[in-house]
Amino acid sequence: MTAAGSTRKLIRGARGFKATITEVEGSMNTQASETTLDEAARASVTIGRPIEELRALWLQPITQSRIWTHFADVTALDDRTAEWIAQGPAGGEYRWCTKVDDSLPNELRWTTLEDADVANAGTLTFQPAPGDRGTELHLDVRFDPPGGPIGQAVSKLFHIVPREIVLKALYKFRALALTGEIPSTGPQPAARHGGADR
Amino acid sequence: MRALCWNGVNDLRVETVADPEILNPKDVILKVRLSTTCGSDLHLIDGLIPTMRAGDVLGHEFMGEIVDVGRDVTKVKRGDRVVVPSFISCGQCWYCQHDLYSLCDTTHPKPELQEPLLGYPTAGIYAYSHAFGGYAGAHAEYVRVPFADTDCFVVPEGVTDEAALFISDAAPTGFMGADFCNIQKGDVIAVWGCGGVGLMAQQCAMILGAERVIAIDRYPERLAQAEAFGAITLDYTKVDVVEALKELTGGRGPDACIDAVGMEAGGTGLQQAYDRVKQALYMETDRGAALRQAMLAVRKGGTLSILGVYGVMDKFPLGVLMNKGVTVRTAQQHGQAYVPRLLEHTRRGELTPAALATHRFSLEDSPRGYHMFKHKDDGCLRAVFSPE
């Protein structure tokens, strides 16, 4: 890891990219461990609805196609598998399919099937929030970019950092769960041409 | 449609842009009847707030007529004359249900831009940079209003367009600032700033039972308006404000101080020179003369209510607050919690927000309106724009 890389890691760590510290601690390979910080992200939100309702909403295929739009086009292939197509910054396109394991009541897991351009795995856990605050959702996504842990960083691959990918998906999911809609200014943001709307 | 666009620092132009459309089922489209300038727009126009983009349509204080409704809108309808608070709030999340509407958890389309700055994203707001959502503003012929059932308030007969206009922001912000003071019998409230928000805070403090309201500014016409509202006035360029406040309160100090000035405070002396230099070098965004003075002036155990808009300020004497046991309350306006009450106070003549409208312009002439407002030419308190 170069000095510049270390600095970047520290900055990201300071801004919340410390989600994988526990996983890193278990690793034998320092280089891979540090890179892992670029490849995984965790975010949490609390939503004032019961677990069962949120779990059911998450599992609806249309939900997946709506909450990941900042990152990928998600198309349901059947109830539990979906195709993801993510755009890279220079016109590159990355495809993979995921399968969801919903065998646990308070946890959903998904992993990519074979031949994924960017292998990844996600875990969403549901926990009751204290008082009348509803349910806590904890989302953890890890990417395994091509070339292994020392290959291209996810943020370069997709032009979006992993933390932003999961945070924005959870934010949209909360909006959808509470209001039935996802906030948007596209295609009419304040600025002209729409192109300024990230 | 025609709209007032920001094109860069101090570069405003009226341009033809695409009409807004219904994007979500709870949206409406409003035909703007009136919109107005806000002091916080000046921070955007001057380039003190990052994440503005060329072509941004300005304007977050407005009222108008509903001309199109989304399929899930049930409480308001086409033809309604409504006023809309400047923060976009869903009415469903924990924050909205606790009357903390400007902290709404669901209306920010770009939360990733704001989370690193504030820790958590706030509600989206019209025309207040992309870090606050990137929603198009209302200095335009039409504006899209999301969550219309929560955010559109029908204006009753007997309340004019001009009065209703200021119930979108200046009046609820001022009322909230007075509400934060938890005013008790005999309380004296000092308000820094006699712009739209400050004047509304003064009138609202009286409505909420303040014994005496003291208004602080430097512009004679603004102080005259405060006096017309019933406040005692202080010109901070002519008196030592902290001493004058002690004199006016028998040495106790005001029970609560409201800062309705914010980051571009005027001031006097060395501290002002220090702030101006640091702001010019972008080492801080804020000149905090009014806030520092309010911190010093407030009585022991009193309340400091901050309505002024701030970014980053140093030389912040936290020890003054700590050692005096001051309660600090602050927020962007939770307008939806106050608008019905304010419309009723206005209908009864107890609140007179239309007094803020000192200058009127067509939308086409709005850049001139902002110029007058910014430089306070001809005693301009608020410039009001009409698209027609």
- Nearest-CA residue of chain A relative to B135? A190
- For residue B113, which residues of chain A lie inside 8 Å, CB to CB? 198
DSSP code for B168: G
Superfamily of domain A40-179: START domain (3.30.530.20)
Q: How far is CA A160 from CA A20, A167, A197, in A?
A: 18, 11, 14
How many interface pairs between A and B have CB atoms less than 8 angstroms apart?
Answer: 102
3-state helix, strand, coil in chain A (%, to 5): 35, 30, 35
Domain B2-169+333-386 has CATH 3.40.1390.30: no
Q: What does R_g of chain B's alpha carbons equal in angstroms?
A: 20
Contact flag A167-B110 (C-beta cutoff 8 Å): no
Give me the interface pTM, i.e. the ipTM: 0.90
Contact flag B93-A48 (C-beta cutoff 8 Å): yes
Spans of all domains in chain B:
2-169+333-386, 171-330
Tell me which residue of A187, A166, A184 sits closest to A176, measured CA to CA.
A184
Rounded to the nearest angstrom, the minimum Cα separation between A7 and chain B is 18
Spell out the per-residue pLDDT of chain B, length 388, in tens. 999 999 999 999 999 999 999 999 999 999 999 999 999 899 899 887 778 999 999 999 999 999 999 999 999 999 999 999 999 999 999 999 999 999 999 999 999 989 988 999 999 999 999 999 999 999 999 999 999 999 999 999 999 999 999 999 999 999 999 999 999 999 999 999 999 999 999 999 999 999 999 999 999 999 999 999 999 999 999 999 999 999 999 999 999 999 999 876 666 666 666 666 666 665 555 667 889 999 999 999 999 999 988 877 777 889 999 999 999 999 999 999 999 999 999 999 999 999 999 999 999 999 999 999 999 999 999 999 999 8
- Nearest-CA residue of chain A relative to B5? A191
Contact flag A168-B146 (C-beta cutoff 8 Å): no
- Nearest-CA residue of chain B relative to A44? B120
- Sorted by sequence, the CB contacts under 8 Å of residue B140 that are 6+ apart come out as B1, B2, B3, B4, B17, B32, B35, B57, B59, B363, B387
- Nearest-CA residue of chain B relative to A164? B112
Contact flag B108-A48 (C-beta cutoff 8 Å): no
Contact flag B90-A184 (C-beta cutoff 8 Å): no
Alpha helices in chain B, H assignment, sequence order:
39-45, 94-97, 111-118, 148-151, 161-165, 170-180, 196-207, 220-228, 241-248, 269-280, 289-297, 318-324, 339-347, 366-375
Tell me which residue of B237, B272, B242, B267 sits closest to B254, measured CA to CA.
B242
Q: What per-residue confidence (pLDDT) applies to B283? A: 59
Contact flag B94-A133 (C-beta cutoff 8 Å): yes
Report whether pLDDT(A21) > 70. no
Nearest to A191 among B20, B53, B133 (CB): B53
The backbone torsions φ and ψ at residue B327, rounded to the nearest 5 degrees and listed phi first, read -90, 125
- For residue B111, which residues of chain A lie inside 8 Å, CB to CB? 167-168, 171
Q: What is the CATH number of domain B171-330?
A: 3.40.50.720
**pTM for the whole structure:** 0.88
Q: What per-residue confidence (pLDDT) applies to A150? A: 56
**What is the overall mean pLDDT for chain A?**
79
Spans of all domains in chain A:
40-179
**Residue pLDDT, tens place only, B326-384:** 999 999 999 999 999 999 999 999 999 999 999 999 999 999 999 999 999 999 999 99
Rounded to the nearest angstrom, the minimum Cα separation between B287 and chain A is 27
Give the type of residue at B276. Answer: R
- For residue B118, which residues of chain A lie inside 8 Å, CB to CB? none
Does A181 touch chain B if contact means CB atoms closer than 8 Å?
yes
